C-alpha cells in the first residue's frame, strides 16, 4: 500500500457510472473479470501502489449494487464509493470532485481523473504524469501521438484525409487542480468528453505527456480479450522462475 507523502499528495476520481453498451456484456464493463479479478480492481491496484495517493473516489450510478461487494472482496484502502454518477461522463466526474470537496479536500490539491476501463495503466505511467505535472501551472494528461493516417467519413466512404501531424489521442489519467477543474467542468457543461477539453474551454493549455498504446480504454468486446492477454503476459513475466 502507498504511504502518504505531503510533498506529492494526489487524489483520484474514477468515473464508473457508464453502462458500457459498446462492449455488449449485459453488465457494466468495469465488472468484467480479467484473470478472475474485476477490471476496476486492476485499475485501482495501480493507484494504490503509487506513493502519495490520498483519499480518492469511485463514482458509480445511483442504482449500482455491485461496487460495494467488489470492494468488500478486494479492499482498496484509499477509495470510497459515491453513488452520484450522472448521465454523462463529465457529470460523473463533477460529482466525484464535489464528493472530494465534501470530504474536505482543498481546491489546490491535485486530482487525477481516470477511466475505470483503462485497466492496463501502469504505476510507471502514473509516475511519469505526476513528475511532468506537479510543477506545472495548468496540469496535463497522458496522450499518444496519432500513429495512423486519419480519415474523415462521408456516408460510409472517405470524405477526406486529415493531416495527422501534431494530432494526439487523449488518454487518462488527466491531472488538474481540484478547484480549477471543478470550475472548468461547471462552465463547459455536461457534454465534454474529457477533463482537458473543459480546461481548454477555460482558455488554458494542458501539458501532453507521452503515453503508451497499451493504456487503451476497453470499449469493444475484442478489447477484453486483448486486455486479458496483456495482463496474463505481465503476470507470467513477474511470476516466472529466473
Binding residue count for ligand C5P, defined by CB under 6 A: 16
Question: Angle at Cα 80 formed by Cα 78 and Cα 83, nearest 5°?
Answer: 160
Query: Within 33-62, which residues bind ligand C5P (CB under 6 A)?
Result: 59
Q: Helix, strand, or coil here: 187?
A: helix
Q: According to CB under 6 A, which one of 86, 139, 140, 173 is a site residue for ligand C5P?
A: 86
- Copy the grid coordinates of residue 198: 473543459
Residue 178-217 contact track with ligand C5P, rule CB under 6 A, x = bound: ---------------------------------------x
Q: According to CB under 6 A, which one of 12, 13, 17, 209 is a site residue for ligand C5P?
A: 17
The Cα–Cα gap between 205 and 216 comes to: 23
Residues for the chain: how many in total? 242
> Which of the stretches 45-53, 87-95, 119-127, 144-152 binds ligand C5P when contact is defined by CB under 6 A?
87-95
Q: Does 92 bind ligand C5P (CB under 6 A)?
A: yes
Q: Which is nearer to ligand C5P, 24 or 149 (CB)?
A: 24
How far from 26 is each of 20, 83, 174, 183, CA to CA, in Å? 9, 20, 29, 35
- Copy the grid coordinates of residue 175: 491531472
Query: Which candidate, 62, 204, 214, 201, places its Cα nearest to that of 142?
Result: 214
Please give the residue ranges that form the binding site for ligand C5P (CB under 6 A).
Answer: 15-18, 59, 85-89, 92, 115-117, 217, 219
Amino acid at each position: 500500500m502507498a504511504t502518504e507523502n505531503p510533498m506529492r499528495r494526489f487524489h483520484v476520481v474514477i468515473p464508473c457510472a457508464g453502462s458500457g453498451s459498446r462492449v455488449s456484456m449485459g453488465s457494466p464493463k468495469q465488472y468484467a473479470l480479467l484473470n478472475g479479478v474485476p477490471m476496476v480492481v486492476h485499475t485501482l491496484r495501480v493507484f494504490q501502489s503509487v506513493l502519495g495517493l490520498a483519499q480518492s473516489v469511485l463514482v458509480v450510478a445511483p442504482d449500482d449494487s455491485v461496487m460495494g461487494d467488489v470492494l468488500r472482496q478486494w479492499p482498496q484502502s484509499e477509495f470510497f464509493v459515491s453513488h452520484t454518477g450522472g448521465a454523462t461522463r463529465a457529470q460523473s466526474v463533477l460529482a466525484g470532485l464535489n464528493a472530494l470537496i465534501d470530504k474536505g479536500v482543498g481546491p489546490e490539491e491535485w486530482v487525477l481523473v481516470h477511466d475505470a476501463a483503462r485497466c492496463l495503466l501502469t504505476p510507471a505511467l502514473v509516475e511519469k504524469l505526476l513528475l511532468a505535472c506537479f510543477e506545472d501551472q495548468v496540469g496535463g494528461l497522458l496522450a499518444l501521438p496519432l500513429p495512423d493516417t486519419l480519415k474523415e467519413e462521408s456516408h460510409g466512404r472517405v470524405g477526406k484525409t486529415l493531416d495527422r501531424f501534431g494530432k494526439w489521442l487523449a488518454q487518462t489519467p488527466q491531472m488538474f487542480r481540484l478547484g480549477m477543474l471543478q470550475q472548468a467542468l461547471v462552465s463547459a457543461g455536461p457534454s465534454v468528453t474529457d477533463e482537458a477539453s473543459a480546461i481548454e474551454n477555460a482558455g488554458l493549455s494542458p501539458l501532453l505527456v507521452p503515453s503508451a498504446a497499451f493504456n487503451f480504454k476497453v470499449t469493444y468486446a475484442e478489447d477484453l480479450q486483448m486486455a486479458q492477454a496483456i495482463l496474463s503476459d505481465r503476470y507470467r513475466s513477474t511470476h516466472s522462475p529466473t
